[in-house]
Amino acid sequence: MHILNVNSLIDPLAGGGTAERTIQISRSLIAKGMKCSIMTTDIGFESGRLVGLDNIPIFAYKCINKRFHIPLVKYRKIKEIIKKVDVVHLMGNWSILNVLVYIAVRSLGKPYVVCPAGALPLFGRSKLFKKLYNFSFGNKIIKNANAWIAVTETEKDQFLPYGIAKDKISVIPNGINPDDFHYKDINKFKNKFVVNNDKFIMFVGRLNKIKGPDILLDAFIKGEKIWADWDLIYAGPDGGLLRSLKKVVADNNLSKRVRFIGYINGDEKSSAYHAANLLVIPSRQEAMSIVVLEAGIASTPVIITDQCGFNQIKTVSGGIVCQANVSGIYSAIYDAYHERKKLHIMGDNLNKFVNETYTWSMVISKYIDLYLKLLNKV
């Protein structure tokens, strides 16, 4: 069985969680003895961030518009590639590459799967583009799919405007590879990045409105005299809010306690999780946070909003779930700080939950079962 994973971005810096998922699914399929290829654009290929893909054929086309990720490729070439695969897996949404692949797939009668991973709502920037995209091809891509994947039960609701009944949608969560987060040179990380206090709260993600870094900053400032021995570190690329966040920090004279360290990956990212006392994920909207899984492998306790699609962590006492606003984040940090001697228990609970439920070696079997069912039906 040969699977073609399609995603305009597989560079984790540019593509975030969807890019990471594409990489991990591809690696896991190969590990299970499946044939797998990736179709994408060339964004990030010169960076050295794409690791673990040496044995996976990658068709990476020159991107001629980085805002909308438009690939420079002949339709005939895409069609030739799709002829040789059994199932096509479309990752994400709002993708011109997905449109080209969709047209080829329909003409050849190949089965395809869609996994938007939270990208169906008209949220964030470029709303006009998204409306035009849906009007021309987006709605058809979703409606005509042979199978639909949601990463959580709550994400199923996002398919309803497209006419897809909930009972037709498979729920397959994000996964994690524990081996990627075993490195933990805590002192090296702290010596490099922690300026003021030895203890710190960490944010990992793109600095844009959807991820909610501004909510976290306002909540931190509100209680900064209470948790005076905790710093705040933002690890992630700028998504349009970095300048305004830095201004707020400067205006409140907190430059020694709030750091912006940019994008980190590999051993440095692993060490960051192990060094952090608490991870906060203040997202306004998210299908299922991969960052929660990464923190779990490092036994780092988490605070997440109820918009992260991961309320189960409250059930297993692996973290605190709160509302996606300043008062909600503030109250959660307040509670965590006053119970800080017990945070390690919360982190251990999260570690156990993630290792028992979300490793890629377990999750990938659900993808393979779905692909096999498709081939039997077509």
Mean pLDDT of the chain: 91
Distances (CA, A) of 224 to 221, 242, 322, 331, 349: 5, 20, 19, 13, 28
Q: Is the Cβ–Cβ distance between 249 and 232 less than 8 Å?
A: no
**pLDDT > 60? residue 346:** yes
**CATH class given for the domain over 178-357:** alpha beta
Residue with token string 């192990």: 274
Which pairing describes strands 147-150 and 112-115: parallel, antiparallel, or unpaired?
parallel
Q: Measured between alpha carbons, how far is residue 332 from residues 169, 189, 281 in Å?
A: 33, 26, 11
- Which single residue is written with the structure tokens 């009972």? 167
Q: What residue segments make up the domains of the chain, in order of their start?
A: 2-175+359-377, 178-357
pLDDT-based confidence at residue 121 (cuts at 50, 70, 90): confident
> Into which CATH architecture does domain 2-175+359-377 fall?
3-Layer(aba) Sandwich (3.40)
Lowest mean pLDDT among 30-34, 121-125, 259-263, 296-300: 121-125
Residue 159 in contact with residue 150, Cβ under 8 Å?
A: yes
pLDDT band for position 125 (cuts 50, 70, 90): low
- Which amino acid type is present at position 91? M
Q: In what order do the strands lie in the sheet with 112-115?
A: 70-72, 58-65, 35-41, 2-6, 87-91, 112-115, 147-150, 169-171
**The predicted structure's pLDDT at residue 196:** 73
Same fold for the domain at 2-175+359-377 and the one at 178-357?
yes
Q: Per residue in 160-170, pLDDT tens?
A: 999 999 999 99
Instruction: Look at 12 and 344; give whichever has higher pLDDT.
Output: 344
The string of pLDDT tens digits covering residues 35-74 is 999 999 988 776 556 666 778 999 999 988 877 788 999 9
Q: Give me the mean pLDDT over the 102-115 stretch.
A: 96
Cβ atoms of 82 and 89 closer than 8 Å: no
pLDDT tens track for 207-216:
999 999 999 9
pTM for this predicted structure: 0.87
Residue 142: its pLDDT value, please? 94
68 Cβ contact list (under 8 Å, min separation 6): 96, 126, 129
| CA end-to-end span of the chain | 14
